[in-house]
Amino acid sequence: MTKKDFEKICDEISTISPFIRFTGVIGESGELLAYRRRPDLTPLLNEKNTQYQFSHIAMKTDLEGFFDKNLGQIEFVWEEREKVQTISFAIKKQRVWISIDKKVIRSEVLRIIDSCLPIVKKYS
C-alpha cells in the first residue's frame, strides 16, 4: 500500500464522527505512516510518549500474530481509558489506531466501529 492509501484511510475514518480525536496508520515498526487530528484538539500525549504508544502497538500486533492460527485474526480492539477511548484495526502488518472522546455513549462508539470495518476490509 502507498502513503496515499494510508492518507485516504485516515480521511475516510476521520469523517465518520465528530467525536473522533485522532486517526493514524501505524507501521509494523511503530512509525506513523499517515494521520488526521481533529483541528480543535490538544493532544493528550507529547511527541515522545506518542512514539512509545505507537511502538507498543507495533509490538502487541507482532505478538498477537502468534495466536492468529488458533483464535483467528483480530478484527478490532476497543480500549476504554480514563481520558479517552481507542479502537485499533489490523490491515495486514499495519494498525489503524483511532482515539475517541471519553464521554461518548457506547452506541456511538459501536457505530464508529461498524462504519470503520468496511473501510478496513477494503484495504486488507
Each residue's pLDDT tens digit, 72-87:
887 888 989 899 999 9
CB contact at 8 A, 102 and 82: yes
Predicted TM-score of the model (pTM):
0.84
Domain span at residue 55? Answer: 3-123
Look at residue 7 in the predicted model and tell me its pLDDT. 96
Structural domains of the chain, count: 1
**CATH code of the domain covering residue 70:** 3.30.450.30
Q: What is the chain's pLDDT, residue by residue, as a tens digit (124 residues)?
A: 899 999 999 999 999 999 999 999 998 888 889 999 998 887 776 667 677 676 666 667 666 766 777 888 878 889 898 999 999 998 888 889 999 999 999 999 999 999 999 999 999 8
In angstroms, the CA 12 to CA 3 distance is 14
In angstroms, the CA 38 to CA 55 distance is 22
